[in-house]
Amino acid sequence: MNDGSSVAQLAATLRDELIRYPEGAKLPASRVLVARHQVSPVTLSRAIATLAAEGLVTSRPGAGVFKATQQRRTGTAGDVSWQEIALAAHPPLGGVDPATRGAGAAGVLATLTSPPPEVIDLNGGYLHTELQPERALGAALARAGRRPGTWSRPPVEGLPELREWFARDIGGPGGTLAASDVLVAAGGQSALTTALRALAAPGAPVLVESPTYPGLLAAARAAGLRPVPVPVDADGVRTDLLAQAFEATRARLFVCQPLFHNPTGAVLAPQRRAEVLRIARAAGAFVVEDDFARRLVHADSPALPLPLAADDPDGVVVHVRSLTKAASPSLRIAGLSARGPVLERLRAIQVVDSFFVPRPLQETTLELVGSPAWAKHLRTLAGALRDRRTAVLTALAAELPALLPQRPPYGGYHLWLRLPDGSDEREAAASALRRGVAVTAGGPYFTAEAPAPYLRLSYVGTPGTAQLEDGVHRLRQALS
């Protein structure tokens, strides 16, 4: 019993037991707690670490664990009402209301918030621990820790060996992408933020798919940019409308997810791939390709198309390739690649924002992707994603057949469910939560009002398929 739910349950139990102890009192020895609660020493250690992080206990090596002494706040509460004026008093940033720079994080926070242990998670955007390569990650971290120089400062662009690996991974066999075209970034979100800030001035329009990933919309608004939606259908972004949007806005940037688009799961059709590049090139614009799901392909998927960056000798595409989704939410590593002078702009923005990605994390990543365990994990993950998708679709066919997507994706980890006209998606999500299942309302995936009600259903946040089937059953009860 060492998974996240067991840790959370034990931490809750210990939290209740702490009420009986006076401040500074010593808790029973670890062996006593392990026997009393029938858990492993690892689970106990993690639960104690949780309580320590909350400031409820203190751990003293060689002495034991003690209930923390709470510091009493003295004096009266301060008056922070002045901040309302200060935060709104700045002049408009390039014509954009400065208040929007801090807005739009709700959609991101929804996928980062872990529901209580008793709630089935059909909302999260990261692999459950059952799907993560924990042993391979631990072994890679241990090997990286023994490397000479692991704790020294890395090059600001990233370790040369890791940049070379990303160049091969993105460009494919015989690709023209070089290690010098790649920057190592601290995850996909950080890479997207760097690209937005480097390629568009505050107040400028940026074309985005509609619907699209809420983290992109939040990052664009935080940078003072104005997201302009371009509709997506079953074959990806509508290229006829993309051309119109460039002409109407004079935008110089389009951000897209051509492979297993979030949230629809669409794959950009072959005939539209060349069109996207041609339209952007004619507009003198960049295309930021967020290739977040390439390592989330299902075992029964057809052959994948190459990235747009592989067909782009002219430097139109700025490519983002993250390893986080396929490994662990804490392995925040991505490759940010571009050709031409724009790479220096990206490098400058990234250096100012974060200096560099910590070397131990880069060394661990190198150890992971260079080991046989990585390839084995990807094969295992592909089979698990296929099985989970099949389980959810089968459950939907039995419980909610009207919500079945017409073209289920063969990659990624989510389904985009169209609710009947007139449905209140927020109430549907709230009702589902009351039934013990967490799903995501579709509204935050649109730049403005949604054209129809949707729910996004993720199938990687649970321990197995049994919970997925139960979650769909509870969702039917909530919607009925």
Looking at residue 172, what is its pLDDT?
A: 72
Confidence of residue 288 (pLDDT cuts 50, 70, 90): very high
The residues that bridge with 411 in the sheet, in sequence order, are 297
Say how many C-beta atoms besides its own lie within 10 A of residue 319's C-beta.
Answer: 28
Q: List, for residues 36-71, the tens digit of each pLDDT value.
A: 999 888 888 888 888 888 888 888 877 888 998 876
Cβ(393)–Cβ(408) under 8 Å?
Answer: yes
CA dist., res. 64 & res. 42, Å (int): 16
CATH architecture assignment, domain 106-132+375-479: Alpha-Beta Complex (3.90)
Q: List, for residues 158-211, the tens digit of each pLDDT value.
A: 999 999 999 999 877 667 789 999 999 999 999 999 999 999 999 999 999 999
Class of domain 139-370: alpha beta
Q: List, for residues 118-144, the tens digit of each pLDDT value.
A: 889 999 889 999 999 999 999 999 999
Q: Which two tokens stand for residue 392?
A: 């959810």
Question: What DSSP string describes 389-410?
Answer: HHHHHHHHHHH-GGG--SS--S
Burial status of residue 352 (CB atoms within 10 A of its CB: 0-12, 13-18, 19 or more): exposed
**Taking the domains of the chain in order of start, what are their residue ranges?**
4-67, 106-132+375-479, 139-370
Looking at residue 5, what is its pLDDT?
A: 66
The residues that bridge with 440 in the sheet, in sequence order, are 456
CA dist., res. 106 & res. 83, Å (int): 21
Position 443, amino acid = G
CA dist., res. 161 & res. 146, Å (int): 17
Cβ(307)–Cβ(318) under 8 Å?
Answer: no
CA dist., res. 171 & res. 196, Å (int): 22
Position 251, amino acid = A
Looking at residue 311, what is its pLDDT?
A: 84
Cβ(361)–Cβ(332) under 8 Å?
Answer: yes
Looking at residue 88, what is its pLDDT?
A: 65
What percentage of the chain exceeds 90 in pLDDT? 68
Question: What DSSP string describes 130-141?
Answer: TTS-HHHHHHHH
Cβ(268)–Cβ(230) under 8 Å?
Answer: no
Same fold for the pair 4-67 and 106-132+375-479: no
Lowest pLDDT segment from 3-12, 204-213, 348-357, 427-436: 3-12
Q: Which two tokens stand for residue 10?
A: 């034990």
Confidence of residue 256 (pLDDT cuts 50, 70, 90): very high
Q: List, for residues 439-479, the tens digit of each pLDDT value.
A: 999 999 999 888 899 999 999 999 999 999 999 999 999 99
Confidence of residue 336 (pLDDT cuts 50, 70, 90): very high
Looking at residue 71, what is its pLDDT?
A: 63
Question: What DSSP string describes 45-75?
Answer: HHHHHHHHHTTSEEEETTTEEEEPPPPPP-S
Say how many C-beta atoms besides its own lie within 10 A of residue 234's C-beta.
Answer: 12
CATH architecture assignment, domain 4-67: Orthogonal Bundle (1.10)
Work out the average pLDDT over 403-425: 94
CA dist., res. 176 & res. 314, Å (int): 11
Position 19, amino acid = I
| Mean model confidence pLDDT for the chain | 89
Residues 6+ apart with CB under 8 A from 93: 101, 202, 203, 224
Confidence of residue 77 (pLDDT cuts 50, 70, 90): low
Q: Which two tokens stand for residue 28?
A: 């029973």
Looking at residue 117, what is its pLDDT?
A: 80
Cβ(193)–Cβ(219) under 8 Å?
Answer: yes
pLDDT at residue 1 greater than cutoff 60: no
